[in-house]
């Protein structure tokens, strides 16, 4: 009689292969999902900071409304949990003849030929939490974005 060569020596190999490859595939799946979520949240925080700055930069009067800038940023990031905006206003004296700008308080009167420039900025932050823990990577990451613009 001939010895039987065939499937009996390979039985269960597909299950072993699945057991090896499944954790890797799940890691890739969750990793791709977390990367997409983190990228979306970073874009949303950037957009919110920009929205707040756009509110304050529309006029010199609105540049003083720090609460309005923070509210505009918060409204833009309504779907982001743990979102925190911080608005500020700063001034500088711009000398066009020399091309230099010196920091000044907003109550300062710039000497001629320098003109006063008013800037508004919003710093927005949020904490991103991953779906699962990854070895060597933190479970949560703070995302912070800033925007600065000159008031009209």
Domain boundaries along the sequence of the chain: 13-150
142, 147, 148, 150: CA torsion to nearest 10: -160
At 7, is the pLDDT very low, low, confident or very high (cuts 50, 70, 90)?
Answer: low
* Preceding peptide of 113 cis, ω within 30°: yes
* Closest among 91, 78, 68, 83 to 127, alpha carbons compared: 83
Q: In the chain, what percentage of residues exceed pLDDT 90?
A: 71
- Report whether pLDDT(70) > 70: yes
Indicate the pTM of the whole model.
0.81
**Chain-wide mean pLDDT for the chain?**
91
What per-residue confidence (pLDDT) applies to 9?
Answer: 62
**Under 8 Å between Cβ of 126 and 37:** no
Tell me how far apart the alpha carbons of residues 74 and 55 are, in angstroms, rounded to a whole number: 12
- Report whether pLDDT(5) > 90: no
């Amino acid at each position: 009689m001939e010895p039987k060569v065939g499937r009996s020596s390979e039985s269960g190999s597909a299950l072993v292969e699945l057991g090896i490859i499944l954790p890797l595939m799940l890691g890739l799946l969750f990793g791709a999902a977390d990367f997409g979520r983190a990228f979306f949240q970073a874009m949303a925080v950037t957009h919110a900071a920009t929205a707040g700055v756009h509110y304050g930069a529309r006029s010199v009067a609105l540049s003083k409304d720090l609460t309005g800038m923070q509210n505009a940023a918060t409204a833009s990031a309504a779907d982001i949990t743990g979102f925190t905006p911080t608005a500020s206003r700063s001034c500088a004296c711009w000398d066009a003849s020399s091309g230099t700008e010196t920091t000044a308080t907003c109550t300062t009167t710039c000497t001629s030929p320098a003109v006063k420039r008013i800037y508004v900025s919003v710093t927005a932050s949020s904490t991103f939490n991953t779906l699962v823990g990854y070895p060597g990577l933190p479970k949560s990451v703070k995302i912070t974005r800033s925007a600065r613009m000159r008031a009209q």
